[in-house]
Amino acid sequence: MKLITRDTDYAIRAISYIASTKKKMVSARDLVEVLKIPRPFLRKILQRLNRAGLLKSYKGQGGGFALEVPPQRISLMRLMNVFQGPFRLNECFFKKKRCPNLKRCRLKRRIERIERFIVKELKAIDMGCLLK
């Protein structure tokens, strides 16, 4: 089981690099060099980050990407939402209108407790604190 998928992982690396560099903007080409990530895949990720409002893109020669939001305001939870959708541990079996039996509700409560902890932790991790 993976908490973080590869695209989220790559996004973390890309944002970390963009946040830490002195350059005004960074092109996909630069990022491929530095991060050793397959180029077309990285491009797709950057585009998603742009659409999500976390990066700002500049087209044309000399273009690239820059942060649209300070790294402190980009939590891991937020990134995961972009690439992995809303976080729910128990969506498949427990979200039905009624539990098939009572025991499972007990289970549901305990899983919700785990979920709350994870979400709290993920919100507390931001791209700023990963840089230090």
The residues, ordered by sequence, that sit 6+ positions from 48 with a Cβ below 8 Å of its Cβ are 7, 11, 82, 83
Residue 41's binding partner out of DNA, a second copy, none, with CB under 5 to 8 Å set by partner kind: DNA
Site for a second copy in 96-125 (CB under 8 A): 100-101, 103-104, 106-107, 110-111, 113-114, 117-118, 121-122, 125
Minimum distance of a second copy from residue 36's CB (angstroms):
8
Query: What is the three-class DSSP state of 126?
Result: strand
> Residue 64: which of 79, 83, 43, 78 has the closest Cα?
43
Residue 13: half-sphere exposure toward Cβ, Cα within 13 Å: 17
Contacts with a second copy, residue ranges (CB under 8 A): 1-4, 6, 9, 12-13, 16, 35-36, 76, 84, 87-93, 100-101, 103-104, 106-107, 110-111, 113-114, 117-118, 121-122, 125, 129-132
